[in-house]
Amino acid sequence: MTVRKIFFWLHLTLGVGCAAIVFIMSITGVVLTFEKQMVEWADSGLRAEPTGTRQPLAALEEAVGQWNPEFQPTSIVFRPYPAAPVMLRAGRVERVYVDPYSGRILGVGNEGLRQFFATMVNWHRWLGATGENRVTGRAVTGAANLGFLFIILGGCYLWWPRDWTWSKLRGVVWFRSGLDGKARDFNWHNVIGLWSAVVLVVLVGSGAVISYRWASNLVYLSVGEAPVSRSRPVAVAGAHPEADGVPKFAAWSGLDRVYAGTLAAASGWRTISIPLPRSAEPTVTVTVDAGTGGEPQKRERFVVSRASGELVERVEFSDGTLGARLRSILRFAHTGEVFGLPGQAVAGLASLGACVLVWTGLALSWRRFRAWRVRRREVAYRAPVEQTDLAA
């Protein structure tokens, strides 16, 4: 048993064992490629009428409360163009758009599309599990993700030609026409694996950093920093500050000054997100984003006084430690968003390539298994005949 054969059988065994989970994560990754842009486009028809002066934010919250008392906002999102409505968010999916000039409720946007993407995220992370079962789902996807990382790296070793001649390379570096069956699957498996390997290593490796605390800690340790303790708060959609002892309208106190102070200090922004305060702290930490929502290097945090609207602190991406910056980059390298729209497109294509790798890998394995069964039957058939000849 040579080293190459060991890698081959590990590659094949892990590939077959992880195939279904890897396919689910890959196909949902393809679907989620442009989630933010598609949701924004679907809701783009909800526009405000920029006439008069803007209403106080507390008035907008009151209008939303009259419209639907059950809606419990957790953050407020602003966009820079005049006709942009104010978006009040509650968790990942729920939101409502309000005209900031009249206080008129414009609508909730495309709820069906957002729910669809939420379902895709659920399958991508937890295999569709809910509640306590998500712990098991996360463990399964995390293990399959690690297995896929080994499959990719092992595949690179198996792909490496022993003889660097064009006749040997031709069938594994580009698609060949006129092939079918095993030859076609072998060609596709090698070519797609070759051209997507680097991107898949980034996507899958960063997925491990997201899934496992030890992998996240390695990011910090690799640059000589102590790992950051990251607790996982339980996210409750629709949670309201009132549950933390903050009166309903007191939570909105001073947010107009916070927004005005942020506007005075920010430039080139695309979104300003103000979390609804969950305590009586005198400051609010505002997120100012100049990117597409997944580019941490274009994001800043402003700490603004609720009483005066003055900027207390401004934290840029470059202010973080090297380990913190790498960890943040890896989080959004998993979706390609760290490189903007081109990065998302490349990540989506690589995820689609992973789906083809699963399919062709299973097809090649099935053909190998059938050939093995045929050989076993031939051996079993020849054995009695040979024994009869010897007896004669």
Q: How much is the pTM?
A: 0.86
Per-residue model confidence (pLDDT) at position 239 = 42
Q: Whole-angstrom Cα distance, residue 271 to residue 79?
A: 5
Q: Looking at the DSSP assignment, which residues form a beta bridge with residue 392?
A: none
Task: Please report where in the chains the tokens 């009483």 appear, as a residue.
Answer: 307
User: What is the signed CA dihedral for 362, 364, 366, 372, rounded to 10 degrees?
Assistant: -150
Per-residue model confidence (pLDDT) at position 252 = 82
- Which run of H or of E encompasses 275? strand 271-275
Per-residue model confidence (pLDDT) at position 387 = 57
Per-residue model confidence (pLDDT) at position 160 = 81
pLDDT band at 237 (very low <50, low <70, confident <90, very high): very low
pLDDT band at 384 (very low <50, low <70, confident <90, very high): low
Q: Whole-angstrom Cα distance, residue 262 to residue 305?
A: 10
| 392 pLDDT higher than 70 | no
pLDDT per position as a tens digit, 20-55 = 999 999 999 999 999 999 999 999 999 999 988 899
Q: Looking at the DSSP assignment, which residues form a beta bridge with residue 77?
A: 87, 273
Q: Whole-angstrom Cα distance, residue 128 to residue 122?
A: 5
pLDDT per position as a tens digit, 256-311 = 999 999 999 999 999 999 998 877 789 999 999 999 889 999 999 999 999 999 99
Task: Please report where in the chains the tokens 């506007």 appear, as a residue.
Answer: 263
Q: Whole-angstrom Cα distance, residue 199 to residue 338?
A: 13
pLDDT per position as a tens digit, 301-349 = 999 999 999 999 999 999 999 999 999 999 999 999 999 999 999 999 9
More confident residue, 254 or 169: 254
Residue 127 is encoded by which pair of tokens?
A: 């295999």
> In the sheet where 283-289 sits, what is the strand order?
105-107, 94-98, 86-90, 75-78, 271-275, 283-289, 299-305, 311-315
Task: Map residue 77 onto helix, strand or coil.
Answer: strand
The DSSP annotation for 34-52 comes to THHHHHHHHTTT------S
